[in-house]
Amino acid sequence: MQDKDKTRRKVLIGLTSAVGLSGLPFAATPFIAAWNPSAKAKAAGAPVKLDVSKMQFGQQIQVSWRKQPVFIIRHTKESLASLELSLSKLADPNSDLISEPYKGLFPTRSKSSEYSVMSGVCTHLGCAPKYFPEVEPKSWDATWSGGFFCPCHGSMFDIVGRVFKGVPAPTNLIVPPHMFDGSILTIGEDKEL
């Protein structure tokens, strides 16, 4: 009888241990997940990665970083060649009035000779400028050579985000820290800065 009780006890201990161990991952998951940054912390400044290889030339896309829109534009060779057309209209063509991380690197004001990366927030009162890449007369500028127009108060920027003279916006659109690893663009992080 005692041997039977010992065997039964061992079986019950073994089964109880197995059931307990199988529940361990379920109990540990919320604890380990608590170590990860919260959605709020991620939104506050976590880098954003995207593959820009599928963007068409002349296309603008928008992503969100730190709860703010960021514009990415893939320029055509023609649009970059036309940057000279608007130089006389610009208030700060060399970004001397703001701290710009990639100043003088490329005409795109970014770490790429083909893409521009800039804040999608007008530097006047925080509206969102609209992208008008066409080189054609517009109601706000008869000699429009492409760029951004802010419909809130009439601020204008060229295709790389440099502000025009005589508009409410005081400075160029802000260029966030970013880096390219092949076709992968990371906004909010630059290992070389």
On whether the 41-187 domain is CATH 2.40.50.140, my answer is no
Q: CA dist 5 to 14, 17, 44, 64, 186, Å?
A: 14, 18, 61, 66, 65
* DSSP symbols for the chain: -HHHHHHHHHHHHHHHHHHHHHHHHHHHHHHHHTTSPPHHHHHTT--EEEE-TTPPTT-EEEEEETTEEEEEEE--HHHHHGGGGGGGGBS-TT--SS--TTTTT-TTSSS-SSEEEEESS-TTTS--PEEE---S-BTTBTT--SEEE-TTT--EE-TT-PBBTTSS--SPPP---EEEETTEEEES--TT-
Q: What confidence score (pLDDT) does residue 5 get?
A: 73
Q: What confidence score (pLDDT) does residue 174 get?
A: 94
Return per-residue pLDDT of the chain as tens, 193 residues.
677 777 878 777 878 877 777 776 776 666 666 666 566 555 556 899 999 999 999 999 999 999 899 999 999 998 898 888 889 999 999 999 888 999 989 999 999 999 999 999 999 888 899 999 988 888 888 888 889 999 989 999 999 999 999 999 999 999 999 999 999 999 998 887 5
Residues in the chain: 193
Query: Which pTM value belongs to this model?
Result: 0.74
Q: What confidence score (pLDDT) does residue 43 get?
A: 56
Q: What confidence score (pLDDT) does residue 126 get?
A: 83
